[in-house]
Amino acid sequence: MRVAFLVANEGVEQIELTDPLAAVTQAGGEASVLSIKSSDVQAFNHLDKADTFAVDRLVAEAQIEDYDGLVLPGGVANPDALRMNNHAVDFVRAFFDVGKPVAAICHAPWTLVEADVVRGRRLTSWPSLRTDIRNAGGEWVNEQVVVCDGGPNILVTSRKPADLKAFDEAFLREFSKIAA
């Protein structure tokens, strides 16, 4: 299983990157950190700077066929920066276009809204995104994890870091079906 993790170079919530990354590698998969710039990724613990992470590949140079699934970690600034980058938005939309699974946690569905892929789908997020998701045609629910099979691909969403165990289990289960 080859999984892309798409993050901006600043503002990703560290645990929402590191926990799913570890889950992929512990399951025997390959994880790649993609970003919009080649500089290191500055992660945060809420509002405080945390660790930095190397970028494996620029999203502008990434190929969809190199990955079985896509994970979008949250953090408030992370998806806000991604949704302003055409390469990032196009990359996310392309996963939906070809029917590959996507997982997003916390504020990450903002990028899904920008990619115009939530219409007709049931999903969850950090509660402050509720109106944005509904305005984009999605059905927002307040659940720990939601697996939506709305179309040719699977979308796994979760609300917050406290949901990471359920999020990891759900996206690994769904991604492994595709990678098999």
As annotated, the active-site residues are: 106-107
**Using CA atoms, how far apart are residues 109 and 172, in angstroms rounded to an integer?**
18
DSSP 50-66: EEEE--SEEGGG--GGG
**Using CA atoms, how far apart are residues 64 and 136, in angstroms rounded to an integer?**
24
Return the bridge partners of 57, or none.
Answer: 34
**Using CA atoms, how far apart are residues 20 and 39, in angstroms rounded to an integer?**
21
The whole-angstrom distance between residue 107's C-alpha and the CA centroid of its chain comes to 9
